[in-house]
Amino acid sequence: MATAAAQDGGMAAKGSGGTDQVYFQDTYLFTCEATVVKARRTEDGHICLVTDRTILHPQGGGQPADFGAIQTKDGSEVFQVLHVQKPKESHDIEHMCRSETSTDLDRLVGQTVEMKVNEERRCLNARLHSAGHLLDAAFVRLAKFDLIPSKGYHFPDGPYVEYIGNIPNEQREEAIQQLNEICEDLIKESVAVNVSSNERGERLVNIGGAECPCGGTHVKNTAEIQKITVTRIKKNKKNIKVSYNIAP
């Protein structure tokens, strides 16, 4: 099985003049300090904050955004982070927030704030995303089908990975059983999730010899995924779609 193609799309570890992506340093780092560099109100009444660094992962690469909070150092203003996004052609990461106070946005710019991640959501997102890469490793170990990872959807509502190639219909039920057995073995083996960068600055994630560019958050080893179950394999246009879920 080829593994060089991107499942999720790699991202540089820093914002190249924009927001420093602190969440890449440690999935289990849930707080950090930052400085507000931009602040504006959106048409729908939310507050958009851009900071020099962030602990909050934006939606993208098949992974949902983190939730959390941003508060001023003195605690006088707290912003609930409802969504995080990275606009195309921009190095800034935008935090879409709600605040119960009447905020002077001009006064916010330049202030030091504390950022906090919703830990439960962060850990679930990381487990779901790593589980998708675990499927790549399972296919490598199975060594039965010529598949190339194409894209992944690592949201709680029906996660899946698509592969370029095919698994004949008559072999799919057996493949599901074999993949589940291999995934169980890989979890028991507590295989390390290795993260590195290539010469283009893309972030690479490798589990059990299956490596591809990826801009998501991940667990430290496969044991932290706890349990993954492949639920369905079906043809999706020219690709094969492998659906899965993980233990709550």
Q: Taking all residues of the chain, what is their mean pLDDT, rounded to a whole number?
A: 92
Per-residue pLDDT for 63 more than 70? yes
The Cα 94–Cα 205 span in angstroms is 25
What is the model's pLDDT at position 6? 47
Do the beta carbons of residue 104 and residue 195 sit within 8 Å? no
pLDDT tens for 168-197 read 999 999 999 999 999 999 999 999 999 999
Q: What's the pLDDT band for 101 if we cut at 50, 70, 90?
A: confident
Q: Three-state SS for 108?
A: helix
What is the model's pLDDT at position 4? 41
Q: How do the residues of the chain divide into helix, strand and coil, expressed in percent and rounded to 5? A: 20, 40, 40
Q: What's the pLDDT band for 10 if we cut at 50, 70, 90?
A: low
Higher-pLDDT residue of 149, 14: 149
What is the token pair recorded at 89?
């052609």
- Predicted TM-score of the model (pTM): 0.91
The Cα 88–Cα 18 span in angstroms is 13
What is the model's pLDDT at position 104? 85
Residues of the chain above pLDDT 70, percent: 93
Per-residue pLDDT for 226 more than 90? yes
What is the token pair recorded at 230?
């492949």
What is the model's pLDDT at position 7? 54
What is the model's pLDDT at position 210? 94
